[in-house]
Amino acid sequence: MIDSTSFALFVAASLALILAPGPAVLYIVARSIDQGRLAGLVSVLGIAAGAQVHLLAAVLGISALLAASALAFSIVKYAGAAYLIYLGLHKLFIEKINPAEFERPPAQPLGRIFTQGVIVSLLNPKLALFFLAFVPQFINPALGPVGLQFLLLGLVFTAIALVSDSCYALLAGTARSWLRTRPGFIRSQKYASGGVYVALGLAAALKR
């Protein structure tokens, strides 16, 4: 159903994008620094749960779009490529890491941390737009149902993100004292992240 070469490229591109920290990672790291590894891992699960809502919404939307018009699906792909380039340029030239986001939040029960993680994910409209911009670049309608391809790729992306975010939680929870005084390690990665977004957007736009 999914071409092996395209799948390998999808995994590689997903790794490159996921390893660059964003708002969800800042939340996870902040929780881990404040309350340790367990709190960080619980926040990871909350973020992942919220992401599934965005994924399902994107799956239903793309499936309905292709059923209506193959041309419309192509338009979404090109719009997605443009959006990826925009994200990259925004990270490179506009986006700034706010040190205040890295400060210790008040301690919370684990159940509330999970719920807050879900809310952080749900209230991030960029996540929904990202699913619509990124995943369709690797879908081939000729290989099977688009909705199922989208769902499988989205779940793979979420699984990779789950592993990556967990590593951030474990690292931050283990090195709590050191990270409290060095938020710049996240700031320095924005340039690599921006470059990856731009490269993926250009590749998607030029792909036949």
Domain borders along the chain are 4-206
Amino acid at 14: S
Q: What is the pTM of this model?
A: 0.67
pLDDT in tens, the chain (208 residues): 677 878 888 888 888 777 766 667 777 877 787 778 898 899 999 999 988 988 888 888 765 665 566 676 667 667 767 876 886 787 677 766 555 555 555 667 889 889 888 887 887 666 777 787 788 888 887 788 888 888 899 999 999 999 999 998 998 888 776 665 665 555 555 565 567 667 767 766 676 5
Q: What Cα–Cα distance (Å) separates residue 109 from each residue in 35, 45, 83, 106, 139?
A: 10, 14, 37, 10, 41
